[in-house]
Amino acid sequence: MYQKTPLDRRCPQADKGYSQRDQEGRLRKYCLQNNIKVMQVVYEDFSAKTFIRPSWIKLLADLRKQRDKVHLVIFTKWDRFSHNAGDAYGMINTLRKLDIEVQAIDQPLDLSIPENKMMLAIYLAVPEVENDRRGLNTYYGMRRARKEGNYMGLAPIGYINRITENGKKYIAIKELEAAILRWAFEQIAEGKLSGRTSKA
């Protein structure tokens, strides 16, 4: 399927929330200017928090099959590659064993230069720190909302999610389901039903 030449390359790129067409355009322009043969463009609509992403898993399998025919994987920025520094270093090493270089065209690094490894660490750490901060902000925001009487998440059985005119979230009784739950609790209270489940 692929001709074995020194210019064989593969360009993946991706994540949701960014203009994928714009990224592809810039990657293709870079490949054209640098005489790089594009073998495939990979779109990925999954977060770069992990490499357990359908398109990446398929790409890695293809790279292993096409060993010695693909020598470069490029993307726009390092946070398009990974949001987890530890996983990123592991994947870089995995690709190196396949004789494949990884490169961000907007943040190019020659990793044969020791000092550039410090810049790589920064490029990889920043998105991970941002993700962790976003997660903490979400956690504390939800905690504060609960303290203020807002109900976060899907309402339990017997209730329904509602929003007041000023945007405050709460739960209200959903009468049909609530009636069934009341009946079940009454039966348990009168000893007619057991609240325990048994295994067959």
Q: What pLDDT sits at residue 151? A: 67
> Crossing angle, helix 85-97 and helix 116-147, to 10 degrees?
140
* pLDDT for 31: 92
Tokens 């870079």, located at residue: 30
The predicted model scores a pTM of 0.57
Can you tell me the distance from the alpha carbon of 107 to that of 129, in angstroms, rounded to the nearest whole number?
Answer: 18
Distance separating alpha carbons of residues 34 and 180, to the nearest angstrom: 69
Query: CA 101 to CA 70: how far, in whole Å?
Result: 9
Q: What is the pLDDT of residue 5?
A: 33
Report the first-to-last Cα separation within the chain, whole angstroms: 55
CATH 3.30.2320.80 assigned to domain 8-127? The reply is no
- Where is 133: in which H helix or E strand? helix 116-147
The full set of domain ranges for the chain reads 8-127, 150-195
Positions of the chain with pLDDT lower than 70, given as ranges: 1-18, 149-152, 195-200
Give the pLDDT confidence score for residue 32 in this predicted structure.
92
Q: What angle do CA 122, 125, 130 make, to 5 degrees?
A: 125
DSSP code, position 159: E
Residue 199: how many CB atoms within 10 A of its CB? 3
**Beta strand pairing call for 37-42 and 8-12:** parallel
